[in-house]
Structure 1
């Protein structure tokens, strides 16, 4: 529908202009609700985690469906509702600002402060990272979250409208809250993590393809980006972060991946790309590529939303009397 396409475009523009509010963000409110419910639903098994996810995601998607149904025959309210939902679930501008903040601290030779600010973007232990490792972490976060917080919701929203937008953000938020491989959430968070992998599958592939296609924006080679994706992505533990981070590595002609430390546990994230080690100046290049990917994803989402709807197969041609 034209109103869905317009709403997606307006929501992207609102995110670019306004970013996320410091207070009273809808996603933060959902997170508080999920945390409260967890006190009642938590148990150290997968079924309890599946119930937790089903209740929260199902309720959110149903609320989105109710909004969609109430506005779908009124183009202006429908466009506005879609725009608000799109703005609420996107996080591209906040991601870009956090990456820029770390970049500025490194430029000012404030490595300890950059390590602390980096914790806003990544979950790894940042206390002993050198400048190159900080840059690598920022670029990896920009790549992965451009897929998770921009491309995936736009693609799903273009196909499924407001219910898909809100339901996706509910899944993604729950994965961030409980989808961890630690003692508390290994089993309870299993359903959230697996569902997040599933709903991010199409968006991550679109994001990787866009990163490869738009590599010339940062002086890169699309062939190298596709080659890095094909060669290196499977070694990454995430089926969705792997393709996007590998495509960014190839597009930027840098090496990403390697060993990260999480709460004293070392994980090998595999080496992505075969270029030089990432450096501070590559952060701005990664931000430029991410913005280009966001623009491309917005265009794709609008085109998907505008596609003709089939209303059933045509009837038989009239025969001769």
Structure 2
């Protein structure tokens, strides 16, 4: 018997097809939640704590594309999990009247889960989009690493950070309760979630267990698409969302019929935007072609 894969995932609404793949279609894997996100999964892959990660496109690509990555980088992009862009909501504290709009954030303190995480990378994309970047200068006065969504919310209320970015529907519950306030949003200019595999599984062609994962995930996606009511029930019962918000999210998300493979133009497009935003350096780090298996 092959050893079951250890799969890192973010325990949010997007994980529902993965849950269905295991529940109904015999996915033989240990699912390991990473509530602090993709940056933490990169660390875990490099430490051989997980074999597969399902996380955010920009974080995976930034993790491989930075100069000075040790060894072979630890993982490669092997599959596509979500076709649609991600809506990053920009949040501040409930009682921060001085932060009225996105313009107020220039030169402020950005809260991130980890250096290299999606919340970190998208800060630079936001700065680039708003014209806040100048050569040799950081767009924000401080980058405050807070690890968890809960600590990010606390930091914008205490003043430790001025703002942070997190997925819209995961944030919405805390707008509705008045804990934090929404000041804007930014969409990723790329499809939002990718599947990566440890280089131990990609060196001699793709490990058969990864092929099996794609087959079972495709069935999980098909089940999700055919059973929205069940998906809403699972999300609202087991994850931190209302049924109403889960239904609204369903209108915004598309999972691929075939999860295996990554479009090279998505990766090269992301790399070029991350270079423009100063996350990656031109002519340094891994090429976009080398990131994909």
| Both structures adopt the same fold (TM-score exceeding 0.5) | no
- Tell which structure's C-alpha radius of gyration is larger: 1
Q: Which has the higher contact order (CA 8 A, sep 6+)?
A: 2
TM-score normalised by the chain length of structure 1: 0.27
TM-score in terms of structure 2 length: 0.29
More helix by share: 1
